[in-house]
Amino acid sequence: MIFRAFFTNSFGILVSRIFGFVRDLLTANILGANIYSDMFFVAFKLPNLFRRIFAEGAFTQAFLPAFTKSRTKGIFALHVFIRFFIFIAFLITLVVIFSPFITKIFAYGFNDEQILQTAPLVSINFFYLALIYIVTFIASLLQYRSHFATTAFSTALLNIAMIVSLLLSDPSTPEKTVYYLSFGVVAGGFLQVLVHMYAMKKMRLFPLVFGAVKYKKTHKQNETECKTFYKNFFHSVLGGSTVQLSSFIDTWLASFLAAGSISYLYYANRIFQLPLALFAIALSVGIFPRITKLIKKNDESEAIKLLTKGFWFLTFLLSISALGGILLCEPIIKILFEHGSFNSNDTIICAKVLSMYLLGLVPFGLSRIFSLWLFAQQRQKEAAMISAVSLGIGVLFSFALVYPFGVVGLSLANSISGLFLFILTIRAFGVKTFFNIIKLKKLLFLFILLTVEFFVLLALKEVLQSLF
């Protein structure tokens, strides 16, 4: 059942990423890597940052264990939904009113004219946050019922909406194309909400949540559960946002570099995120509800067995992906993006950025499943401290490496941060328990597999270079 959930999530993510790469290919072809693409990526990154911190990362990691343990599930869920929706509506209002100021904070290297051009895009894109919060809330309920398909496949709707917006735009007017893209983001959010509401109806979850309206008084038990949830949520905000905050700081620093630097980070990070999403995220989403329920039953031995299977499965997949990506980074970028306004020089720089990102693929991916162990045990505060330390280390390296190595130094700093995140997470999980998971036979087999892959891909690289 667990691996069925993994393959459902993984296939759904793959479908979404295929549409995502079509979207990125069109974006690179129409906008290239210039100030207009930088403007849109800054505007799109803002709601994505808050989406991953509040709506996806921290919310899901705190909500699902609390919901599983709740004795008044409907009241608890409705209480959380209303409170968070009001907060997000207030946040959107602030962003719309103060969009130039907020844009200046996150793209400090932009000049005044660029800030004024980007601010309306920030306002439009930020409405996506409210829509994706609704999606994430419903997705958490669906995960509890072991239904993953809707959430896994629905992300493709966002990419499809953005592809349609690009096709409707006029390539000769990039200043208008970025508006088409921004409205496409909002349209994609509406589509995701609709399919999740349909799934919620099919799974008969509406009576569970909205049936709680009939209760005029909130149970004391529910108040206690909500307080525990909010406490864990705020710890999870930092604990689940290391990658996103690090990426955002990199974007801020890249705004001081040559035009196109933000776009190089975006395109390279999109490829880096593919194996991370296909394998690490898909697996963690699949096993998280099960581990949470096992820990609730005090069946830690079964939970460790499940985690061990996930660890080795993920280690093999991520190691193979990282090595392959590093060896073939330039042909990958060339095939995917070197069209239209995206030239050969852009390919060289973007490939270097990608190779540095991929150095951190294994530690980032593995730290995710071990972090979920902490979240399932409601040790969000401890996970938050680990993330804070790794984020601080990443920021220090970003400032140290950005000027000698430029945009490539920023992606290298990201991987260094991932390594520290993994080490500190294993320490919290338990070093002795972790080494009990390690099997020498499997390590030897992995080494042989990677060695064979190395020589095969070297030969393949020469063939690809001769073709392109």
Average pLDDT on 414-439 reads 92
pLDDT confidence band for 361 (50 / 70 / 90): very high
pLDDT in tens, 157-187: 999 999 999 899 887 788 888 899 999 999 9
**Do residues 386 and 240 make contact, with C-beta atoms less than 8 angstroms apart?**
no
pLDDT confidence band for 247 (50 / 70 / 90): confident
Mean pLDDT for the chain overall: 84
316 versus 292: which is more confidently predicted?
316
pLDDT in tens, 65-75: 778 777 777 88
Per cent of the chain over pLDDT 70 is 90
Average pLDDT on 312-328 reads 94
3-state secondary structure labels for all residues of the chain: CHHHHHHHHHHHHHHHHHHHHHHHHHHHHHCCCCHHHHHHHHHHHHHHHHHHHHHHHHHHHHHHHHHHHCCCHHHHHHHHHHHHHHHHHHHHHHHHHCHHHHHHHHCCCCCHHHHHHHHHHHHHHHHHHHHHHHHHHHHHHHHHCCCCHHHHHHHHHHHHHHHHHHHHCCCCCHHHHHHHHHHHHHHHHHHHHHHHHHHHHHCCCHHHHHHHHHCCCCCHHHHHHHHHHHHHHHHHHHHCCHHHHHHHHHHHHHCCCCCCHHHHHHHHHHHHHHHHHHHHHHHHHHHHHHHHHHHHCCCHHHHHHHHHHHHHHHHHHHHHHHHHHHHCHHHHHHHHHCCCCCCHHHHHHHHHHHHHHHCCHHHHHHHHHHHHHHHHCCCHHHHHHHHHHHHHHHHHHHHHHHHHHCHHHHHHHHHHHHHHHHHHHHHHHCHHHHHHHCCHHHHHHHHHHHHHHHHHHHHHHHHHHHHC
pLDDT of residue 458: 87
Per cent of the chain over pLDDT 90 is 32
Q: How far apart are CA 87 and CA 348, in angstroms?
A: 43
Token pair 């009939």 is found at 214
pLDDT in tens, 197-242: 999 988 888 777 765 555 544 555 566 767 777 777 777 666 656 6
pLDDT of residue 239: 62
Please state, as a whole number, how many other Cβ atoms lie within 10 Å of the Cβ of residue 335. 15
pLDDT at residue 39 tops 70: yes
pLDDT confidence band for 399 (50 / 70 / 90): very high
Token pair 């999109």 is found at 270
| Angle between helix 261-275 and 407-429 (nearest 10) | 30
pLDDT of residue 241: 61
Q: What's the number of CA atoms in the CB half-sphere (13 Å) around residue 60?
A: 29
Quote the distance between the C-alpha of residue 332 and its chain's center. 21
pLDDT of residue 335: 85
pLDDT confidence band for 365 (50 / 70 / 90): very high
Average pLDDT on 395-415 reads 92
Average pLDDT on 359-367 reads 94
pLDDT of residue 453: 92
User: Which stretch, 66-70, 80-84, 340-344, has highest mean pLDDT?
Assistant: 80-84
pLDDT of residue 52: 65
pLDDT at residue 319 tops 90: yes
Average pLDDT on 100-105 reads 85
Pick from 42-51, 106-115, 237-246, 387-396: least confident = 237-246
The two tokens of residue 334 are 């060339």
Q: How far apart are CA 95 and CA 106, in angstroms?
A: 12
Average pLDDT on 230-259 reads 73
pLDDT at residue 125 tops 60: yes
pLDDT of residue 186: 93
Q: What's the number of CA atoms in the CB half-sphere (13 Å) around residue 399?
A: 5
Pick from 22-26, 118-122, 236-240, 360-364: least confident = 236-240
Pick from 12-26, 150-164, 228-242, 394-408: least confident = 228-242
pLDDT of residue 61: 72
pLDDT of residue 31: 77
pLDDT at residue 303 tops 70: yes
pLDDT of residue 343: 84
Contacts 24+ apart (CB under 8 A), 437-441: 437/304, 437/307, 437/308, 437/311, 437/312, 439/312
pLDDT confidence band for 149 (50 / 70 / 90): confident
pLDDT of residue 428: 93
Average pLDDT on 342-350 reads 88
pLDDT of residue 421: 92
pLDDT of residue 237: 67
